[in-house]
Amino acid sequence: MLNFHKEHKNLVLTAGVVFIALSIMIAILPAFQMQETEPIPGQKPLSANERKGLRVYVAENCMACHTQQVRNIEMDNVWGSRPSIPSDYFFSKKRLDVWRQSPSLLGSERTGPDLTNIGKRQPSEDWHLLHLYNPRAVVPESVMPSYVWLFREVDSTLVGKDDKTIAVPKEYFNKPGMKIVATEDALLLVEYIKSLQQMELPGGKVNDFIPALKKIQEEGMGGAIDSGGLNGENLFKQTCAACHQDNGKGVAGAFPPLAGSEIVNNEDPDLLIKIILQGYDARPDYGVMPPLGDQLTDAEIAAITTHERSSWGNDAPAVKEEDVRKIREFIKSELNQ
């Protein structure tokens, strides 16, 4: 029997063997396994601008407050349609350059929300830029710092046609004759953030790609939908409230209100449906609304518009799934002509 109190040589040898064994199990074997990771079919590498944006993300230390990992627990359901897998990070884990290893993006703190699927949850460039300039402008409870150094104050007469101006509410910026312009770093950072979108697995089935996750998919990571229909209020909160706010009042000077809107309350919902499907960029005094047609089904759009047309004092007829389908088919037929 070993006596570590007196036989110090055995103590050192045993500690060395344990250290080597743990190193192999915890570091070396997982590293070899990671080398066998393959990208998800259809997954695209980061573009040149997105990779530059990743460098800005790392330089600003965004991972100190945000994670990029969806865990297999109920509280993480809101951040993605499934748990994260190694293949999700296939392209982002490459070295930054010769001298720097791939950045640590997973994070361990959620002072702010997880960003795994932020590109789908919030595809609006204008929202992200305003959020970076002053988070309280769009999320009053936010504790995120303002990244004002990523923007410039420019005389409105000197703003170039290629400059990206930000629609900032007067309470956060009120200098007559001046505009807030995003720097290249701000635009690159937002381009990277918008690229963060969780890929669907082949055939929509986890077990076709990663057998170990079959049970997770069968149990349903996204939460069940009531057989009676979709909840328009919840869908609105998930998709639209970040810009238009839960109370439908929008953000003055940045995103238009839905409460009392003539478009929302119109007896004919066609224009409202078209805006959701195709986006909207007709009012320079407000931010651009991105198209959501590829992200929302006809039933989801019907549920959201019905909620908008019956809330905050609005009083307009409900929208049916068939109404949305007709508009979507009409738009496709116009594009194909």
The closest of 113, 112, 121, 114 to 243, measured between CA atoms, is 121
Q: Which amino acid makes up residue 204?
A: G
DSSP codes of every residue in 222-287: S-PPPTT---HHHHHHHHTHHHH-TTS--BTTTB---TT-HHHH-SS-HHHHHHHHH-B---TTSP
Residue 130 and residue 248 in one domain: no
| pLDDT number for residue 203 | 64
Residue 60 and residue 161 in one domain: yes
- The pair phi, psi for residue 303, each rounded to 5°, is -65, -40
Residue 262 has pLDDT above 50, yes or no: yes
**β-pairing, 178-182 with 165-166?**
antiparallel
| pLDDT number for residue 309 | 94
- Give me the CATH number covering residue 313: 1.10.760.10
Structural tokens at position 63: 């991972």
Are the beta carbons of 149 and 189 closer than 8 angstroms?
A: no
Instruction: Name the percent of the chain lying above pLDDT 70.
Output: 90
What confidence tier does 205 reach under pLDDT thresholds 50, 70, 90? low
Q: 205 vs 177, which has greater pLDDT? A: 177
| pLDDT number for residue 213 | 47
Residue 40 has pLDDT above 70, yes or no: yes
Considering the domain boundaries, does residue 93 fall inside one?
Answer: yes
Residue 208 has pLDDT above 60, yes or no: no
Residue 78 and residue 167 in one domain: yes
Question: Alpha-carbon distance 193 to 191, whole Å?
Answer: 6
Are the beta carbons of 296 and 286 closer than 8 angstroms?
A: no
Please compute, for residue 164, the number of CA atoms within 13 A of its CA located in the half-sphere on the CB side: 18
Residue 57 and residue 154 in one domain: yes
Beta bridge partners, 312, equal: none
Considering the domain boundaries, does residue 20 fall inside one?
Answer: yes
> Could you tell me the CA-to-CA distances from 307 to 12, 114, 259, 260, 279 in Å, in that order?
69, 27, 11, 13, 19
Q: Tell me the average pLDDT across 151-171.
A: 91
Considering the domain boundaries, does residue 52 fall inside one?
Answer: yes
Residue 285 and residue 185 in one domain: no
What confidence tier does 1 reach under pLDDT thresholds 50, 70, 90? low
Q: 229 vs 250, which has greater pLDDT? A: 250
Q: Tell me the average pLDDT across 114-124.
A: 91
Place of tokens 């949305």: 324
66 SS3 class: coil
Place of tokens 């439908």: 248
| pLDDT number for residue 204 | 57
Considering the domain boundaries, does residue 214 fall inside one?
Answer: no
Residue 219 has pLDDT above 60, yes or no: no
| Residue-range definition of the domain harbouring residue 180 | 48-202
Considering the domain boundaries, does residue 19 fall inside one?
Answer: yes
Give the total number of structural domains in the chain: 3
Residue 2 has pLDDT above 80, yes or no: no
Task: Average the pLDDT over each of 56-70, 152-166, 221-235 and give the range with the smallest value.
Answer: 221-235
Domain end marker among 185, 202, 219 = 202
Neighbours of 14 (CB within 10 A): 13
The closest of 178, 93, 186 to 147, measured between CA atoms, is 186
- Mean pLDDT of all residues belonging to the chain: 85
Task: Average the pLDDT over each of 132-136, 207-211, 281-285, 313-317 and give the range with the smallest value.
Answer: 207-211
| pLDDT number for residue 144 | 95
Question: Alpha-carbon distance 133 to 183, whole Å?
Answer: 11
Long-range contacts of 150-158 (CB under 8 A, 24+ apart): 150/182, 150/183, 150/185, 150/186, 150/189, 151/180, 151/181, 151/182, 151/183, 151/186, 152/180, 152/181, 152/183, 153/178, 153/179, 153/180, 153/181, 154/178, 154/179, 154/180, 154/181, 155/179
Considering the domain boundaries, does residue 133 fall inside one?
Answer: yes
Residue 176 and residue 244 in one domain: no
Residue 195 and residue 56 in one domain: yes
Residue 158 and residue 79 in one domain: yes
Are the beta carbons of 90 and 37 closer than 8 angstroms?
A: yes
CA 268 to chain centre: 32
Q: What pTM does this model have?
A: 0.74
The closest of 265, 280, 270 to 320, measured between CA atoms, is 270
